[in-house]
Structure 1
Amino acid sequence: MARNAVVFHGTGANPEVAWYPWLAGRLAARGYTVDVPHYPDLNVEPIGTFLPKVLAAQRFDEDTVLVGHSGGAALLLAVLEHIEVRVAQAVLVAGYATRPNDSAEPVLQDTYDWAAIRSHVRDLYFINSRKDPYGCDEHQGRAMFERLGGTQIVRDDGHFGDYDQPYDTFELLDRLIP
């Protein structure tokens, strides 16, 4: 079966910024079918009405790799909770499960079924930075890790890409995804 990867951009971003195009190219070169969908309503529209659109637009199977950055990583929690299959891998970059700052976070659910999330992913990584300007820091990563297991990686790399933080490649992600 062909491997597929879906890369979810962060809040206010798009598929052409940061390391998203670079990672898509690296995965495609290894035989992945890669989708980097553009979701301008990510973290604007409430997750209750936004999630069904995402689930309907994507294909998930046992060979799927999911990567999410910031708001896209928060979206992955809801995706993993509500899919009906166990995907191969999920990598949450600058992810969070609770409000990381005083901004509204419509991408977050009020509660999560942590057991369901864990049962729907074989290999799980959390990559957070101690120096994240938005609060998507190692404490957010640790809170998810403690509920879900997997692997937590802590760096000092800001937000891993932002309007004022060029981050055109992400070698760590390339090494983590087989």
Structure 2
Amino acid sequence: MKAIIFHGSAPHATTGKFWYQNVANELNSHGIFTLVADLPKLDQEPLKDTLFKIKAMNLVIDENTILIGHSAGTNIIFALLEHLTTPVKAVYLIAGYSQPNGMSHTTLKRSYDWSVIKNNSNEFYMFNSFNDPFNCNEKQGKILFDHLGGTLILKNDGHFTQKHQPLLTSLLKQYY
């Protein structure tokens, strides 16, 4: 089994400031090969350029893959799921959104093929926050839940940028 984490649009996202590497280390320690995709231009370049870079990484995304995305990284997951031929094991969307939230995002598409996206994952988990400062809030989470089903978890954790995400880690334990 493997997991791929797609970070948000912060240019220093993979430096260890956020939770990505902690979650990757936890999963790796339990035998789940985990990669934090390094996309320093995420949300600063056209989506097609970001997807081209991901394709160049030669990632194998299949039925043994868990996809984890944070903020703008969730939009990358939607774009990937629209083109898969085999459903992934699970998708975790942290501070996800699919509607404009008052900010400019190059990862956000005008529309998504929700039926294809839904059929390309066995499970969806959405974490959104009532007090998200970037409007990736409970309303965005409800929109995702309405499209995808799964499990919607609403918290008061801002934009989920803390280094430790015990709830996410505990939910991922079902795979090891």
Give the TM-score normalised by structure 1: 0.91
CA 1:55/1:121 → structure 2, altered by over 3 Å: closer, same or farther? farther
Amino acid at match of 1:67: I
**How many angstroms does 1:137 deviate by?**
0.3
CA distance in 1, matches of 2:166, 2:144: 23
Q: Secondary structure at the match of 2:153?
A: strand
Alignment match, 1:164: none
In 2, are the aligned partners of 1:55 and 1:83 still within 8 Å (CA)?
A: no
Alignment match, 1:48: 48
CA distance in 1, matches of 2:146, 2:104: 24
Alignment match, 1:155: 155
CA distance in 1, matches of 2:131, 2:37: 28
Amino acid at match of 1:9: H
Alignment match, 1:75: 76
Alignment match, 2:114: 114
In 1, are the aligned partners of 2:82 and 2:116 still within 8 Å (CA)?
A: yes
Amino acid at match of 2:39: Y
In 2, are the aligned partners of 1:55 and 1:79 still within 8 Å (CA)?
A: no
Unaligned stretches of 5+ residues in structure 1: 162-166
Query: Can you list the C-alpha shifts for 1:58-100, whole angstroms capped at 9, x where unaligned?
Result: 2201010111111111221111112222100100000100111
CA distance in 1, matches of 2:44, 2:69: 16
CA distance in 1, matches of 2:170, 2:144: 22
In 2, are the aligned partners of 1:126 and 1:151 still within 8 Å (CA)?
A: yes
Identity of aligned residues (%): 36
1:32-111 to 2 correspondences below 5 Å: 32-57=32-57, 58-101=59-102, 103-111=103-111
CA RMSD of aligned residues (A): 1.2
**How many angstroms does 1:18 deviate by?**
1.0
CA distance in 1, matches of 2:48, 2:39: 15
**How many angstroms does 1:133 deviate by?**
0.2
In 2, are the aligned partners of 1:69 and 1:94 still within 8 Å (CA)?
A: yes
1:104-143 to 2 correspondences below 5 Å: 104-143=104-143
Give the TM-score normalised by structure 2: 0.92
**How many angstroms does 1:28 deviate by?**
0.6
Amino acid at match of 1:68: G
**How many angstroms does 1:43 deviate by?**
0.9
CA distance in 1, matches of 2:82, 2:119: 9
In 1, are the aligned partners of 2:39 and 2:50 still within 8 Å (CA)?
A: no
**How many angstroms does 1:151 deviate by?**
0.8
**How many angstroms does 1:112 deviate by?**
0.5
Amino acid at match of 2:170: R
2:174 matched to 1:176? Answer: no
